[in-house]
Amino acid sequence: MIRGMTGFGRAQGQAPWGVWVWEVRSVNGKSVDLRTNFPPGCEAVDFEARRRVKDRFQRGSFQLQLRIDWTKDPGANAIDARELARLARLSRNWTKSGVAPARFGELLSAPGVTKGASRTGSTIDEATTKELIAGLDRALDMLNEARTKEGDSLSTLFNAMLAQLEQLVRQAGEHAARQPDLVRERFKTRLAEIARDVTIDKDRVAQEVLAMATRADVREELDRLAAHTESARSILTSGEAVGRKLDFLCQELNREANTLCSKSASLDLTNTGLALKSLIEQFREQVQNVE
């Protein structure tokens, strides 16, 4: 089972001290890259959140956001005495113009007189931290489920691509089996060209034969392509974080496909080699989504 690196998780809850919402996102990344957006006073939550993400995931670029709507303390309302006195003096002056002075209740309801204390910048205690982290765990569970679901889709795609890769390797083997005849004809042509040179010696002829035979032999490349494909299947079922291993394996597959094309003595084998290279590149692009 493999996991992808793209997903989203959300959790929310309510407590006597307020309402909170967690949102976590992840996309592709070479390692764990974590950015957080928390209210002031959440240093302990930030530290624990980072630890938990690194414990649960091995690759990905993560964004964690915590929003808290603190409950205001009704007993914490305060009266600005200076503002109240200022408005009272103004009210008394209104009587000179024949306007009735404001009542005390009206003065208290005036903007800026009564202020409610908000906990927006409060320091979070241990109990609140514990409750928020429990909410984060639920959001991370949702994120992990999304990444696992993406991994299931990628696993199905990879198995189909590996089956196609195996088919192309078998096809390349069939084309390679006809290479000796093609090389033999080319050798005859080359030998006729060499024979025109009366100074040529037998060692030179032997060297030409060896060079052409070596260039035409692609059995090792085909064997390694088959072995790498089998290794990819084993890696996909290992149950580990396999993104880096698969990325390295793609490099090896591409190297063998390049060599196969360079040794090709026929257009059919060359075309098959190019098809292998194209498929391996598609495989590699999808591997970038694997944790």
Q: Looking up tokens 């006809």, which residue turns up?
A: 178
1 occurs within a structural domain: no
**pLDDT 10s digits, 208-231:** 655 665 666 788 999 999 999 999
Domain of residue 110 covers: 78-115
Least confident of 54-58, 98-102, 227-231: 98-102
Residues 47 and 97 in one domain: no
Q: What is the structure's pLDDT at 121? A: 47
Q: What is the structure's pLDDT at 209? A: 58
Residues 14 and 140 in one domain: yes
Residues 129 and 230 in one domain: no
Residues 13 and 57 in one domain: yes
3-state secondary structure the chain: CCCECCEEEEEEEEECCEEEEEEEEEECCCCEEEEEECCCCCHHHHHHHHHHHHHHCCCEEEEEEEEEEECCCHHHCEECHHHHHHHHHHHHHHHHHCCCCCCHHHHHCCCCCEECCCCCCCCCCHHHHHHHHHHHHHHHHHHHHHHHHHHHHHHHHHHHHHHHHHHHHHHHHHHHHCHHHHHHHHHHHHHHHHHCCCCCCHHHHHHHHHHHHHHHCCHHHHHHHHHHHHHHHHHHCCCCCCHHHHHHHHHHHHHHHHHHHHHCCCHHHHHHHHHHHHHHHHHHHHHCCEC
213 occurs within a structural domain: yes
Q: What is the structure's pLDDT at 258? A: 95
Q: Looking up tokens 């993104």, which residue turns up?
A: 243
Residues 139 and 47 in one domain: yes
Least confident of 8-17, 106-115, 156-165, 171-180: 106-115
Residues 33 and 56 in one domain: yes
- The CATH number of whichever domain residue 183 belongs to comes to 1.20.140
Judge contact between 229 and 267, C-beta under 8 A: no
Residues 245 and 138 in one domain: no
32 occurs within a structural domain: yes
Least confident of 15-19, 143-147, 186-190, 212-216: 212-216
Q: What angle do CA 122, 126, 127 make, to 5 degrees?
A: 100
Residues 172 and 251 in one domain: yes
2 occurs within a structural domain: no
Q: What is the structure's pLDDT at 120? A: 46
Residues 56 and 164 in one domain: no
- The CATH number of whichever domain residue 22 belongs to comes to 3.30.230.40
Residues 58 and 89 in one domain: no
Residues 32 and 98 in one domain: no
Q: Comparing 192 with 239, which gets the higher pLDDT?
A: 239
Total number of domains constituting the chain: 3
Q: What is the structure's pLDDT at 92? A: 76
**pLDDT 10s digits, 124-142:** 888 999 999 999 999 999 9
- Single pTM value for the model: 0.71
Predicted confidence (pLDDT) at residue 59 exceeds the cutoff of 80: yes
- Dihedral of CA atoms 222, 224, 226, 230 in degrees, nearest 10, equals 180
Residues 159 and 280 in one domain: yes
